[in-house]
């Protein structure tokens, strides 16, 4: 597992506003999109490309184009949807799949899968899992293995913040045969008794879309 934590003044500034409990949902959504665009630059550094001959207004040349099969972006519902716009802005040629998972509150490292809209075969696809929070790590491991079961061997997870406990859990439980990378904006102090990240930013889904009872 490769972990990359972005170290940049713009990321720190935007993340601080994102964490503030007084930040409105509209601003929160915009900041998530902006942070994901900054993360996508690093997350796609090893994106596969092929030569593409073109003609500029001045002369012919050989440029680069994203290789096929196209990469696929997979938001983990529902909070991951808030990150989709930022990723698509950076990779408009990518396809999009959806995976619905939620944490079993009685067993925080166990997950319940309630929806999926993914190709049956992901062999040869570069997959980008997006989910704002890497807390216990259970969702990330389960989602990555869900993709691997469909043939994915190259998975990059893009999260806003992470807890050390979650990072450790992923390192210890991710299938080593998967080429796996995690990109985050920041690593926080840890988890509280309810397995929420501290200081964190609250429930990302609720702050993006409102509270659902």
203 annotated to bind ligand: yes
59 annotated to bind ligand: no
Determine phi and psi for 28, rounding to 5 degrees: -60, -45
94 annotated to bind ligand: no
Going by C-beta distance under 8 Å and a sequence separation of 6 or more, which residues neighbour residue 192? 198
202 annotated to bind ligand: yes
54 annotated to bind ligand: no
86 annotated to bind ligand: no
Q: Which residue has the tokens 């993006």?
A: 208
207 annotated to bind ligand: no
137 annotated to bind ligand: yes
135 annotated to bind ligand: yes
178 annotated to bind ligand: no
Going by C-beta distance under 8 Å and a sequence separation of 6 or more, which residues neighbour residue 160? 15, 18, 32, 35, 36, 83, 132, 133, 184, 185, 186, 201, 204
78 annotated to bind ligand: yes
Q: How far apart are CA 141 and CA 117, in angstroms?
A: 18
67 annotated to bind ligand: no
For residue 169, the SS3 value is helix
61 annotated to bind ligand: no
Binding residues for uracil: 197, 202-204
Annotation: binding site for 5-phospho-alpha-D-ribose 1-diphosphate? 78, 103, 131-139, 203
Binding-site annotation: residue ranges: 78, 103, 131-139, 197, 202-204
């Amino acid at each position: 597992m490769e972990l990359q934590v972005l170290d940049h003044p713009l990321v720190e500034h935007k993340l601080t506003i994102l964490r503030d409990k007084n930040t409105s949902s509209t601003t929160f959504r915009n900041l998530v999109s902006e942070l994901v665009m900054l993360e996508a630059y690093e997350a796609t550094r090893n994106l596969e490309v092929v030569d593409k001959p073109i003609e500029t207004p001045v002369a012919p040349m050989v440029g680069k184009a994203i290789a096929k099969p196209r990469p696929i972006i997979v938001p983990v519902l529902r909070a991951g949807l808030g990150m989709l716009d930022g990723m698509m802005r950076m990779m408009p040629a990518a396809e999009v799949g959806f995976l619905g998972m939620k944490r079993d509150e009685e067993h925080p490292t166990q997950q319940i899968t309630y929806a999926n809209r993914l190709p049956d075969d992901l062999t040869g696809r570069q997959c980008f899992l997006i989910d704002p929070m890497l807390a216990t790590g259970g969702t990330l491991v389960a989602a990555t293995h869900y993709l691997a079961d469909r043939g994915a061997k190259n998975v990059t997870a893009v999260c806003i913040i992470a807890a050390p406990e979650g990072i450790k859990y992923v390192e210890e439980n991710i299938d080593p045969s998967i080429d796996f990378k995690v990109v985050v904006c920041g690593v926080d102090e840890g988890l509280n008794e309810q397995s929420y990240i501290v200081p964190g930013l609250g429930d990302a889904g609720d702050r993006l879309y409102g509270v659902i009872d």
